[in-house]
Amino acid sequence: MTVRVTLIAPAVNAALREARFDDGGPLEAAGRTRAEELGRALAPDRRAGAAAVLVSPSVRCRETAEALGFPAAAPVDALAGCAMGRWRGRTLDGLVGEEEESVAAWLSDPDAAPHGGESLRALRERVGGWLDAPHPAGRVLVVAEPDVVRAAVVHALGADDRIFWRLDVRPLAGVHLSGRAGRWNLRLDGPFTGAADDTD
């Protein structure tokens, strides 16, 4: 059975704008406004046509889903962002000055977790396990953390985990995957518009 999964990155909050690891902060006013504009642009049949609407269990993802017009989106623990341990809320630039070797290890080794949280390989395996599990027939919409979107793409393509850092996920970008476990097709879009072609 073919499944169509659309992953939507959250709108801007302070952590995204400042290039910090998320610390649970809400959307900024501009980010909420942009998400509301995109939500109003969704055709009613697109809004009603999803078999399921899910969300990473972070404040910014839940608020983005609400602003897009999906207030009842169900949080999924398997789609949580990477657990960053003691680096939560810190900037990478700030950490380089304090823990240069640890940061270098984390950026080069998918199994490294010097922050005491989760490695990138563990994140990719967790997200990949969710992606390959059974889903409802039809289109599944997911407002997901940028690192979850990256992990899903790496898994779907069967790529080396080190490719994770080569993927740039912008706020409100949409990524469309169609297929099933072991065989996924990928389509990249600009800002999410809800205009995924159901004939993929």
Residue 177's SS3 state is strand
**Residue 197: its pLDDT value, please?**
43
Per-residue HEC secondary structure of 122-159 comes to HHHHHHHHHHHCCCCCEEEEEECCHHHHHHHHHHHHCC
Question: ∠ CA 45-48-53 to the nearest 5 degrees?
Answer: 135
pLDDT score of 181: 84
* Structure confidence at residue 55 (pLDDT): 97
pTM for this predicted structure: 0.90
Comparing CA positions, the residue from 135, 23, 187, 190 lying closest to residue 90 is 23
**Can you list the residues of the chain whose pLDDT is less than 70?**
43-49, 188-200
CA 24 to chain centre: 15
pLDDT of residue 43: 55
